[in-house]
Structures are given as structure tokens and as C-alpha cells.
Amino acid sequence: MKSREQEYREIFMAEALEYYDAMSRHISELERNPADEPALNELFRLMHNLKSNARAMGYTQIGEAAHHMETIFGLIRSKDMTFTGPVVTVLFDGIDTIGEMIRAVGADQEASDISFLLENLDRLVRGESPILEDTQEEEEANRKLELSDLVYIQIKKLDHLLNLVGELIIDRDRVLTLSQEIGNPALMAAAAHFSRIADDLQYSVMDARLVGVGSLFNKFPRVVRDVAAAEEKDVELTIVGEDIQIDRNILQIITDSLLHLVRNAIGHGLETPAERIAAGKTGQAHLTLSAQTERDDVLIQVIDDGRGIDVESVRRKAVERGLVAAETAATLDPDAVRSFLFEPGFSMAKQVTEISGRGVGLDVVKLAIDSLGGQLRVDSVMGQGTTFTLVLPTSIAVKGALLFVLDERNYAIPLMHTDSVVSLMPDDFHVVGGMLLARVQDENLPVVPLRRLLHNGDGPLAPASKAELNGRQDIIIVNYSNRKLGLIVDRFLRQQDIVIKPMSKPLDTIDLFGGVTLLGSGQVCLVLDVPALTRLFLARRP
Amino acid sequence: MKNRILIVDDSFYMRTMLKNMLTDAGYEVVGEAANGQQALELATQTKPDLITLDVILPDNTGLDVLKGIRQEQPDVKVVMCSAVGQEVIVNEALESGATAYIVKPFSEEKVLEIVGSALQDSESAQS
């Protein structure tokens, strides 16, 4: 449970950064048009709020700076001062300084000395000229001596590093195996050392890719404001746990999902102020975006205090849609019923609204989370609200794989189990005992269309016939415990290092897939588990 | 019966703090408004016993809201929330029918003391 101080601090930070962004925008507007009264009024109001909030938090430096700035904006507003010349310079400098101070509070750092700014603001109030050139140049000169401890790096470069590490890991395994085959003790010791360093490097690179969840969360105050305004709802957003770390690409992948869940919550979950008050709630609805760590996972939650999900109505709809038999539906517990919400095309919205009816449905959110090897859960209490929980891995791991397309979807197959790839014409196949055989490099290999193997269900595969082979066939020959099997796919894509996450419960029971991966394009890609596929083929062959 | 309070402040931080203080002290916070328009709507909808009203609001000034509320609900207690240096507005607010005022940054004791005595006035006036 978070202490009230922590909660206040987080709210203060989120709001102060928002104020800072708005103030930066408004002062630029004012510079373009000094007669822009709304901008001036906003600057005054935001500075005033920042002052009050900072003082309440005990951040006296920020309070003091904001107080001085507010005074000047007040004077400009009452036409006792004009927004020109040195006044502009000092005020811009003031807003920059305030931004730095807010960030310093967020990073738990000492605030910088602001006596120079305060002195200049005081001078302006007294009608004196501020000190500009000399001191600032000196400051600039001093600043050049300090290099930041942080570097910014393009994610592309980190992706490249991760790919290199992936290749290194493959070579590490080869070197280890070779050294054992050769049996030279010095070589084996060197290989073991090399292996440890490669592991360490892999974890360091993964660690470098971690970012704070806040980098995504902090985009939401704006989203919530806009969506709430469009839906005529009054929504207060609380952000919790923005410092929780997660792989940057995972954050990228869940962006749309989170956006969808938030829009959904405001559009369908939360009621209008009038409805809420009629239901005995506060007119203002509450939405919380929260992140926390749970063992190796990151939990991200979207919590609303809206009307909740009507389990019985979901149950009825699931039966209407033919997703489940009525008798079975009646026996399902609420959790099982709510999981129908993640079925494709299952929308509970009575009317599709401008905001939440757009784009993806919950099934797509589910798919994105699955692609990360994560889970999506929903909990809800009628009349009290709904919570969507995304359970996500913190990081991702690397493997070499062959990518191919089947039914317009991308799949990957680990290179470790891939023997070769061939393209054959129908004449290269024979049917023996209902089984398709292909002659490849003086060997007769069993071949099966992967589509049939994946969608066969229980019971033996239907006997094969050459008639179903149309034109050139792309075949991946996999090899598992010396048993080769040809899989017919629609099209080969390429060989690539991929990052694989194992599928989590309950999906881990679908053992045909060893995990999921994400392509550079952001596409989801299931990774085939060759041992399981081979076992399935053996069990089901005609 | 619990006294019902409407909070009007454009800062979420301030609203949260006030709400916590008031709820902890046993009051019922019936609504929170972030601007003048919301304040007027919620005041009409919720008919609170007391309104805490920030002097500076994005759309109207707090004073306009005060006057608007006074026209509809002459009996509701209104506690103005202001910062140091706004004495001029506070005086005008008191003349326009505000019950009391609190100066930010405020302590919990001060808030409860002022809200408590503002409400007591109403009870003694009613009895």
C-alpha cells in the first residue's frame, strides 16, 4: 500500500510536469503575440497553482520561484509591465529553471541554486534592469565543464546490439560444443570463460533496454482529458508506479493496447456525472494507471470506478454468439464468463461511440499481450468498477530462427531444429499409405502441410493426396532426435535472430508453440516448437 | 447526518488533499469540480452543505462562480481558498457572500477548523 505522502508526491509531480509543458507552450504563444490574453491568464493561473502545490509539498524553492514568476505575470496582466525585451528573457529562463527544479524533485536530486533567477525577478518588480549577459555567459561557460552522466541512444542501436548478442549466443553454444568434442582442457576453460562473458553481456544489453513505464504513462493525462471531454465525462486520472522498469519494445507494443483500454474505460466503463450522482457516487469518475513488479513480471493495470461489467449480460451474449452452449455457459464462473470479452468481435458497447469504437477490440489487445508472452485479465464488480491487468515480461531473450508465412500470418521456427529448406514441384512427391513423401537428397522424407497439422484437432490426419498440391511447394525440413519431417508452408520469409518469450499460463499448455516473438515491424509471430510438432505428427499420422 | 461538501479547485493535487482531509474528518465529499462550469453544474446537482471554492479557476474567476451559486442557493456555505496576496479578491468574495476563507498553503487543522465553524453557523442559524 502506498503512503499518502507518496501519493501526493506522485500527483504533484504529474501535475507539475503538465503545468510546465503548458507554461512552455503558453509563453511561446505570448512571445508570438504579446496581446494574447488567454495565454497570459493561463500562465498566471498555472504559476499560481504550481506555487500553492509546491508550498503544500514543502518544495519551497519551486514555490518561491513560482511566486516571483506569478507576481510578474500579474503585473503584465494589470498592464503595469510589458512583455518585451529583458522581461521576456528572464521569464523564459524562469520557466526553464522551474522545469529543471521539478525534474530534480522527480529524480530526488538537490534543486539548483535559484538566487540568480529570484534576484532578476525582484529587479523586474522594482523596475530595474535584470542582469543578463555576463552572468549567463559565465553560467554557460561553467555548464560546459559538466558532462551529463546520461547518454541518449537510438533504440535502433540497442536493437542492433541485442541482435549481435543473439548471434554471439549462437556461436557461444557452438564453441562450447566444439571445445568439448575436441577435449582440450585449455580450450574448454577458455570456452567456459567466454560463455560466462557472453551471458553477462546479454543481460547487460537487456538491462540497457529497460525504461520507466512513466515514459508511456505520462502521455495519458492528455489522452484522458481529450477523451473525457469528447465523451462528456468528468474523469480524474491517477498514475502510479511510473518508475517501474520494462523493456522499451514491450512498452512500444502495449502502447495501442493501453490506449484502447483507457478509451474503453472512459467510453463504456465510466458513467456521466449525472449517472454517477444518481448511483450515489462522486460526479467525478476515477481512472488509475498503475504499474508494479511481481517477481519477474510487470503488472500494468487500468482501473476505473465505473459501472462494472454485467456478467449475466456477457453470458447471454456469449450464448447468442454461439461461443458456448447455454448449458455450459450456466456453469461458468464469472472469471470464465468475462474472458469471452477477449473473443474476436465481442463488443459489449450498446452503441459505438466516436472514441472507443475506433480501431482495435479487446481481442486485439489480447493478441498483443499474448505476443509478448504476457497475460490479460479482467476483474470487475458491478456498480463499483473494472480492472484490466496486463501481466508482462520485464525483458526478452534472443534466438536464431527461420521466418515463414502461413495463412497470412508470420511464424518462426528455431534454427536449432531446422535442417534445410527446399522448394519442390508436385511431381517430386509420392503418396505411400496415405502419407505424403518427398525425395530430398536421396532420402524419402514424410511431408505434411503445416496448416493441416495445426488445425487437425483430435483424431488421425486425413489421408494425403497429390491433388491438394498446387504448383511449387515451400518446405521446411525440421529435425528432432534424428527424425526428419517436411512442413509445407505458404512462403519462406528470411532467417533472423529473434527474441523469444515463453508463453505464460494457461497458454503454456498449447505446446505446439514454444513461445512468441516480435518482429522489427512490430508484428506478432508465434514460434513453433519442433519437438512437440514432431510428436503430434507421429501420433496423428494416417 | 454527514455534512456534504463540494470541492472546487483546478488543481488535482489540491482537490485530492482537500478530499482526504475532509473525508478523514467524517465529511462526505459529494463532488469535485475543476472549473467554473463544472462547479455550477455540480452545485445544482448535488446541493451540498458547503463548497470550498478556489479563487482562481480556468474559465471563470472564482468570484463569478460564487455569485452564480449565491443566486441559486443562498444558504450554501462557501469557503474561499486563496493564496497570500489575494486579499483584494478575498474581500470582494466576502462582500459577495462567501462564508469564510482559507489561505493556501493550508494545514489540516486550519481547514477543518474553518470548515467546521462555517457549518456550525449554518446549524445555529437553522435551529
Whichever domain contains A382, its CATH number is 3.30.565.10
Query: Residue B49 has what pLDDT?
Result: 93
Q: CB–CB of A282 and B29 under 8 A?
A: yes
Kindly tell me if the per-residue pLDDT of A468 is higher than 70.
yes
CA distance linking residue A22 with residue A39, whole number of Å: 10
Kindly tell me if the per-residue pLDDT of B33 is higher than 70.
yes
Lowest mean pLDDT among A96-105, A179-188, A340-349, A460-469: A340-349
Give phi and psi for A211, each to the nearest 5. -130, 165
**Positive or negative torsion for Cα A249, A250, A253, A254:** negative
Q: Is there a single domain that holds both residue A171 and residue A236?
A: no
Q: Which three cell numbers stand for residue B20?
A: 482526504
Kindly tell me if the per-residue pLDDT of A347 is higher than 50.
yes
Over residues A158-180, the mean pLDDT reads 77
Of A144, A169, A191, which residue sits at a domain end?
A144
Chain A positions touching B42 (Cβ under 8 A) are 273, 283
Nearest Cβ partner of B17 from A8, A71, A274? A8
| Contact of A476 with A404, CB cutoff 8 Å | yes
Q: Which three cell numbers stand for residue A267?
A: 467510453
Q: Is there a single domain that holds both residue A243 and residue A111?
A: no
Query: Residue B126 has what pLDDT?
Result: 41
Task: Specify whether domain B4-126 bears CATH 3.40.50.2300.
Answer: yes
Query: Residue A420 has what pLDDT?
Result: 85
Of A360, A393, A426, which residue sits at a domain end?
A393
pLDDT in tens, A244-266: 888 888 888 898 889 989 998 99
Q: Which three cell numbers stand for residue A347?
A: 463488443
Q: What is the DSSP letter of A265?
A: I
Of A335, A370, A393, which residue sits at a domain end?
A393
Q: What is the DSSP letter of A503?
A: P
Residue A235 forms beta bridges with which residues? Answer: A285
- Residue in A284, A286, A305 to test binding to B, most B beta-carbons within 10 Å: A284
Place of cell 477477449: A342
Q: CB–CB of A283 and B83 under 8 A?
A: no
Closest residue of A to B8, CA-based? A284
Q: Is there a single domain that holds both residue A416 and residue A299?
A: no
Chain B positions touching A236 (Cβ under 8 A) are 12, 15, 32
Query: Residue A359 has what pLDDT?
Result: 38
- Residue in A17, A52, A225 to test binding to B, most B beta-carbons within 10 Å: A52
Q: Which three cell numbers stand for residue B38?
A: 463544472
Q: What is the DSSP letter of A504?
A: P
Give phi and psi for A38, each to the nearest 5. -55, -40
CA distance linking residue A194 with residue A201, whole number of Å: 10
Q: Is there a single domain that holds both residue A204 and residue A90?
A: no
The verdict on residue A343 lying in a domain is no
The CA distances from residue A386 to A129, A261, A304, in Å, are 58, 11, 5
Helix, strand, coil percentages in chain B from 3-state DSSP, rounded to 5: 50, 25, 25
Chain B positions touching A12 (Cβ under 8 A) are 13
Kindly tell me if the per-residue pLDDT of A542 is higher than 50.
yes
Q: Which helix (H) or strand (E) holds A446?
A: strand A443-449
How far is the first Cα of chain A from the last one, in angstroms, to the nearest whole number?
59
CA distance linking residue B9 with residue A56, whole number of Å: 14
Q: What is the mean pLDDT of chain B?
A: 85
Over residues A472-501, the mean pLDDT reads 81
Q: Is there a single domain that holds both residue A386 and residue A402?
A: no
Instruction: Print the SS3 string covering A308-354.
Output: CCCHHHHHHHHHHCCCCCHHHHHHCCHHHHHHHHHCCCCCCCCCCCC
Q: Which three cell numbers stand for residue A507?
A: 497458454
CA distance linking residue A499 with residue A19, whole number of Å: 39
Chain B positions touching A47 (Cβ under 8 A) are none
Place of cell 502441410: A449
Give phi and psi for A365, each to the nearest 5. -60, -45
The verdict on residue A272 lying in a domain is yes
Chain A positions touching B17 (Cβ under 8 A) are 8, 56
| Contact of A16 with A51, CB cutoff 8 Å | no
Query: Residue A354 has what pLDDT?
Result: 39
Kindly tell me if the per-residue pLDDT of A37 is higher than 70.
yes
The verdict on residue A380 lying in a domain is yes
Chain B positions touching A4 (Cβ under 8 A) are 20
The verdict on residue A325 lying in a domain is no
Q: Is there a single domain that holds both residue A120 and residue A24?
A: yes
Q: A-side interface with B, Cβ within 8 Å?
A: 4, 7-8, 11-12, 15, 42, 44-45, 48-49, 51-53, 55-56, 71, 234, 236, 273-274, 277, 282-284
CA distance linking residue A87 with residue A128, whole number of Å: 11
Q: What is the DSSP letter of B56?
A: B
pLDDT in tens, B61-74: 788 899 999 888 88
Residue B14 C-alpha, separation from nearest chain A C-alpha, in angstroms: 7
The verdict on residue A341 lying in a domain is no
pLDDT in tens, A113-135: 788 888 888 888 888 888 875 54
Burial of B57 (0-12, 13-18, 19+ CB in 10 A): buried
Where in the sequence is the domain holding A71, given as residue range(s)? Answer: 4-144
Q: Which three cell numbers stand for residue A41?
A: 491568464
For helices A362-371 and A248-264, the axis angle rounded to 10 degrees is 160
Q: Does B14 touch chain A (CB under 8 A)?
A: yes
Q: What is the DSSP letter of A498?
A: E
Kindly report whether the peptide bond that precedes residue B105 is cis, defined as omega within 30 degrees of 0: yes
Task: Identify which has the larger pLDDT, A359 or A111.
Answer: A111
Q: Is there a single domain that holds both residue A122 and residue A239?
A: no
Q: Is there a single domain that holds both residue A431 and residue A480?
A: yes
Q: Is there a single domain that holds both residue A500 and residue A464?
A: yes
| Length in residues, chain A | 542
The DSSP secondary structure of A380-443, one letter per residue, reads EETTTEEEEEEEEES--EEEEEEEEEETTEEEEEEGGGEEEEEEE-GGGEEEETTEEEEEETTE
Lowest mean pLDDT among A92-96, A355-359, A406-410, A456-460: A355-359
pLDDT in tens, B72-116: 888 899 999 887 667 777 888 888 888 888 887 778 888 999 999
Burial of A319 (0-12, 13-18, 19+ CB in 10 A): middle
Q: CB–CB of B32 and A236 under 8 A?
A: yes
Rg of chain B in Å (alpha carbons): 13
Counted domains in chain A: 4
| Contact of B49 with B94, CB cutoff 8 Å | no
Q: Is there a single domain that holds both residue A27 and residue A130?
A: yes
CA distance linking residue B36 with residue B14, whole number of Å: 16
CATH number at residue A51: 1.20.120.160
Over residues A515-525, the mean pLDDT reads 68
State the count of interchain CB pairs (< 8 A) between A and B.
71
Give phi and psi for A22, each to the nearest 5. -65, -40
CA distance linking residue A211 with residue A245, whole number of Å: 5
Q: Does B36 touch chain A (CB under 8 A)?
A: no
CA distance linking residue A127 with residue A71, whole number of Å: 13
Q: How many other CB atoms sit within 10 Å of the CB of residue A145? A: 6
The verdict on residue A260 lying in a domain is yes
CA distance linking residue B61 with residue A343, whole number of Å: 49
| Contact of A283 with B48, CB cutoff 8 Å | no
Q: Is there a single domain that holds both residue A171 and residue A258?
A: no
Chain A positions touching B105 (Cβ under 8 A) are 52, 55-56
Over residues A212-239, the mean pLDDT reads 88
Q: CB–CB of B31 and A283 under 8 A?
A: yes
CA distance linking residue A336 with residue A321, whole number of Å: 16
At A450, is the pLDDT very low, low, confident or very high (cuts 50, 70, 90)? very high
Q: Does B103 touch chain A (CB under 8 A)?
A: no
Closest residue of B to A45, CA-based? B56
Q: Is there a single domain that holds both residue A274 and residue A387?
A: yes
At A502, is the pLDDT very low, low, confident or very high (cuts 50, 70, 90)? low
The verdict on residue A381 lying in a domain is yes
CATH number at residue A164: 1.10.287
At A501, is the pLDDT very low, low, confident or very high (cuts 50, 70, 90)? low
| Length in residues, chain B | 127
Task: Identify which has the larger pLDDT, A364 or A386.
Answer: A386
- The domain segmentation of chain B, as residue ranges, is 4-126
Q: What percentage of residues in chain A have a pLDDT greater than 70?
A: 84
**Residue A313: closest CA among A346, A286, A280:** A346
Over residues A386-413, the mean pLDDT reads 82
CATH number at residue A522: 2.30.30.40
The verdict on residue A161 lying in a domain is yes
Kindly tell me if the per-residue pLDDT of A506 is higher than 60.
no
